Amino acid sequence: MKNYDVAAFIWPSYTGREPRAYQFWEKRIGEWQSVLSAESFCDEQILPRKPLWGTVDEADPKVMEFQINEALRHGVNTFIYDWYWYDRRPFLEQCLDEGFLGAENNKKMKFYLMWANHNADYLWDKRQPDVGETIWYGSQPKSEFDRICRRVIDMYFVRDNYYKIDGCPVFMIYDLPNFVRGIGSVAKAREALDEFRELVRSAGFPGLHIQGVIYSENAVNISELDSVRSGSSRDLVKLLGIDSVTHYQYIHFVDFGKSYPDLLKDVAAEWERIHVQYDVPYYPHVSIGWDNTPRFNEVRRPIARDNTPENVKKAFEMAKSFSDNYNEIPLITINSWNEWTEMSYLEPDDVYGYGYLEAVRDVFGAADPFIMNSD
């Protein structure tokens, strides 16, 4: 069987080791606090759901040693860590630094970073009614971006199991418009990325592979970022010199009001549009589901329907076919390994058991930790 690079996003909040997170989750167990208090408000929901592995500390290297083995056994061979930089310092690094990188078997698995450069508000705190109040800004000035570049090169890119394409470390940016907003203009943002590339080359790599997260095409209006330009995400990707694109969540570009099988028709159409209209590779993305009610005290729609393991398996088959037809590097991204408060995860629960992980394995096969297609 062909080997695929199956990469699942990790939301690194399931630990009590981040002091700045206590303002959101005062019980000091991370966002497990919201998961444990989740309740169902309507017939559309399958809540609460319980993790079969328990509310474990994912910054514990022994916990991650077990999870790495389970991921590989079911075909997931890469973790994409959501990585944050707020108020001149990192946030929620413990799950990566202490958990994953502390696990004795971490070198069997690849990892890379998605800089989650969105603003932080009270979304993570169910006690606060005004979720829109900004706590920390995700947009960063050039001086802070320079610090970010040096940190990720020195701490992560240099590791043998950091995910690379053609020898180039992959660095994903979640919010390209917010990145531009922080730097000041499209032109200055391009210069900053070019400098980042040069720093990576100076560190001994052939280059840097910058991956962008995209949304629906009309989500970006460059005229709001730079007064002399207007356009869409496609234009921004080209102007910034982004090397490839993927998605983070279906909710960003399709209607979750439909049943999951019907939704997949829209997903496939969007993948084809991107393949035709973009000048860079699109790596197909699969989202397990969507329901972020666990973060609130009332029902929040839309809610994924009929996203059973059998139906999600069809999405994996779509991604495999798209990759086979169009991409030299067979990279698939998945939301996610553990987004419990958005009900989009591969980790086993008390409703479907190991069903989602088994769907990955059925389509892509168990992972060989020593064979990757990207390096």
Domains and CATH numbers, the chain: 5-364 (3.20.20.80)
- Backbone φ, ψ for residue 115 (5° rounding): -70, 105
- Going by C-alpha positions, the residue among 348, 356, 354, 339 that lies closest to residue 294 is 339
| Strand partners of residue 353 | 349
CA 158 – CA 152 distance, rounded (Å):
9
Cα distances (angstroms) measured from residue 96 to each of 102, 186, 327, 372: 8, 31, 29, 21
Instruction: Fill in the amino acid letter for 139.
Output: S
* pLDDT of the residue at 222: 58
Q: Are strands 331-335 and 168-173 parallel, antiparallel or unpaired?
A: unpaired
CA atoms of 159 and 96, how far apart (whole Å): 13
pLDDT confidence of residue 367:
77
Would the pTM of this model clear 0.85, i.e. be above it? yes
Maximum distance among all Cα pairs of the chain, rounded to whole angstroms: 56
Question: CA-CA distance, 125 to 23, in Å (whole number)?
Answer: 8
User: Given this model, what pLDDT does residue 35 score?
Assistant: 95
pLDDT for position 371: 59
Which stretches of the chain drop beneath a pLDDT of 50? none
